[in-house]
Amino acid sequence: MVSLYEAVGGRPTFALIATVFYGGVASDEVLRPMYGGADADFSAAANRLQLFLEQYWGGPSDYEELRGHPRLRMRHMPYKIDRDARERWLRHMRSALDSAVSAGSVPPLFEAELWNYLERAATSLMNTNG
Considering only the stretches 6-14, 16-24, 78-86, 100-108, report the one whose residues sit in contact with ligand HEM under the rule CB under 6 A: 78-86
CA angle 102, 105, 111 (to 5 degrees): 80
Q: Does 49 bind ligand HEM (CB under 6 A)?
A: yes
> From the list 23, 113, 125, 127, which residue makes contact with ligand HEM (rule: CB under 6 A)?
125
**Least distance CB 45 / ligand HEM (angstroms):** 4
Strand (E) or helix (H) holding 85? helix 83-102
CB-count burial class (<10 Å; 0-12, 13-18, 19+) for 90:
middle
Q: Does 122 bind ligand HEM (CB under 6 A)?
A: yes
Q: Does 86 bind ligand HEM (CB under 6 A)?
A: yes
Biggest CA pair distance of the chain: 44
Q: Does 32 bind ligand HEM (CB under 6 A)?
A: no
Contacts with ligand HEM by CB under 6 A: the residue count is: 20
Q: How far is CA 38 from the centre of its chain?
A: 21
Question: 37 — alpha (psi -120 to 50), left (phi > 0) or beta?
Answer: left
User: Under 8 Å CB-to-CB from 107, ≥6 apart: which residues?
Assistant: 7, 8
Q: Does 94 bind ligand HEM (CB under 6 A)?
A: no
Q: Does 67 bind ligand HEM (CB under 6 A)?
A: yes
Residues within the interface to ligand HEM (CB under 6 A): 31, 34-35, 45, 48-49, 52, 67, 72, 75-76, 79, 81, 85-86, 89, 118, 121-122, 125
